[in-house]
Structure 1
Amino acid sequence: MDEFEKKLAQEMKRKVEGITLSEREKDRIYKAVNRPNRQPVKRKYTAWSIAVAAVVLFLVLLLPLLSDQKHETGMNTASNSSVEDQQELTARTEVNEGDFIYRLVSEKDHYTEGEPVNIYAELEYIGAEKEVEINHGSSPFFFPMTETTRNYEIEYGVTMPFVRTFLEQGVPLRQTTTGGGSYSEHSKEEYKNFMKRVMRQDYPSGHYIVNGAVKFTLAGEKEVEYMIEAQIEFTIDKNKRS
């Protein structure tokens, strides 16, 4: 019995003694008041019940969430795998967007160092009109690359004058890459030498990813901007004679 209960029992005892009761009735009241562990047991039981109920409620609410999260993670994993499968690169690809087809092509997937590398892009109009007008910079085509063994980014610059081009239905507009690449006087010698060769379209041995794009605006009452992207890869094998 804690201090509060002792004081309560003493107070009740004083009140009972002031009432005219039989000794038997007083004795019953005293026993009821002084029953050992009466209130603490009740309080412990109540606290324990609340704790158990809280844990059960927590589990009931949490388990479905965990299950959903696990399911979502599984779906994301599957989705990521699917994306990776879709992004498996080849030497040729094409992308349809609206009334246009964008093609990005390497003539071969493997070249020997010193051999000419032929990479080109096409834009074909496949809509209902016989001819459409597109507006773009000096060229609508971009051919930036990444050489993955050295982790070099090969930039591809396009000047931005306003150029109009007319596309006939079913007749592709084609352009071959001019190499790209750049360096500064502060670049390392190895990097400079690499870029100088790329600028001459004499690609050093390595693995190349072309991050191609075509960017233009379709002329008309409502101009529509297009930016279609695609990737291909090719490998330059080291020339055994060099």
Structure 2
Amino acid sequence: MRITRYWAGISLLLLLSCMVWLTACGDKKSSNADSSQASANQTEDTAPLAQEVKEGDFVYRLVAETAEDHSADSVKLYAELEYAGDQDEVTITHAMSPFYFPMKETTRGYDISYMMDQPLITTTLRKGEPLREQYRASGGYSADQDPKDYIEFIKDFTANGFLPGRYEVNGFADFNLLVGDKSEPYKLSATVVFTVK
């Protein structure tokens, strides 16, 4: 009887030891998977962020490039419009630019509008040669209606560019393709998200 209890105790102790060992190994694997995932995320964070959209014969790209340190002065935000159809070139009409860069600073929850003059401008796009425009800080506020914090943020943003925070840019290209004496409207949109530290 004593021997049976002895072996039962030893068996229980071995079973508990195995369970602790397996749990520790499982945690280590989980931890390694987490660190691999963190490495993948870090690589994604340092890579240029871009989205490309195609509609008909046009390709619209929205690109945000940031350095590894995500510093404000390293951000390059731009848009491209490319004609990829059968003709050598086409003519489009648009406002001051076909590109719009409205965005939201999601850390603070601030919308940053993108204002533009609205003349009618004609541009020729040659096949395979993208039209590119770099973003210039823009934004507006109502001194009577907007909170003081928001007004200060917009003033600082328009004077100095991107401030620390997370930005979601909902860019789009808005233009008309001229076909003979008619025009076909196009609006291609894309979104990129990046963080400034």
- Please, what TM-score do these two structures have when normalized by structure 2? 0.71
Match of residue 210 from structure 1: 169
Answer whether contact 2:96 2:121 (CA < 8 A) is retained.
yes
**Shift in Å at residue 181 of structure 1?**
1.2
Secondary structure of 1:196's counterpart equals helix
**Shift in Å at residue 179 of structure 1?**
1.3
Q: Write the letter of the residue equivalent to 2:103.
A: M
Q: Structure 1 pair 228/165, CA: closer, same or farther in 2 (3 Å)?
A: same
- Please, what TM-score do these two structures have when normalized by structure 1? 0.58
Secondary structure of 2:149's counterpart equals helix
Structure with the higher strand share, 1 or 2: 2
Write out per-residue CA displacement over residues 92-148 of structure 1, whole angstroms, 9 at most, x where no aligned residue.
110011101100001127654542421000000010100100000000000010111
Unpaired segments of 5 or more residues in structure 1?
A: 1-88, 238-242
Match of 2:59 among 87, 92, 101: 101
**Shift in Å at residue 188 of structure 1?**
2.5
**Count of residues in Structure 1 that have an aligned counterpart in Structure 2:** 149
**Shift in Å at residue 200 of structure 1?**
2.4
Match of 2:117 among 153, 159, 168: 159
Answer whether contact 1:94 1:101 (CA < 8 A) is retained.
yes
User: Structure 2 CA distance, aligned partners of 1:164 and 1:145?
Assistant: 26
* 1:233 and 2:193 matched: yes
Write out per-residue CA displacement over residues 214-242 of structure 1, whole angstroms, 9 at most, x where no aligned residue.
000000134210000000011011xxxxx
**Shift in Å at residue 199 of structure 1?**
1.0
User: Structure 1 CA distance, aligned partners of 2:76 and 2:54?
Assistant: 23
Q: How does 1:7-156 map to 2 (within 5 A)?
A: 91-108=49-66, 112-156=70-114
Structure showing greater Rg: 1
* 1:188 and 2:147 matched: yes
**Shift in Å at residue 197 of structure 1?**
2.0
User: Structure 2 CA distance, aligned partners of 1:112 and 1:193?
Assistant: 22
Q: Write the letter of the residue equivalent to 1:172.
A: P
Unpaired segments of 5 or more residues in structure 2?
A: 1-44
User: Structure 1 CA distance, aligned partners of 2:92 and 2:83?
Assistant: 10
**Shift in Å at residue 149 of structure 1?**
1.2
Structure with the higher helix share, 1 or 2: 1
**Shift in Å at residue 180 of structure 1?**
1.5
Secondary structure of 1:158's counterpart equals coil
Answer whether contact 2:67 2:75 (CA < 8 A) is retained.
no
Q: Which of the pair has the greater relative contact order for Cα pairs under 8 Å at 6+ separation?
A: 2
Q: Structure 1 pair 181/96, CA: closer, same or farther in 2 (3 Å)?
A: same
**Shift in Å at residue 169 of structure 1?**
0.5
Provide the identity percentage. 41
Match of residue 75 from structure 1: none
Secondary structure of 2:179's counterpart equals coil
User: Structure 1 CA distance, aligned partners of 2:69 and 2:158?
Assistant: 17
User: Structure 1 CA distance, aligned partners of 2:115 and 2:192?
Assistant: 19
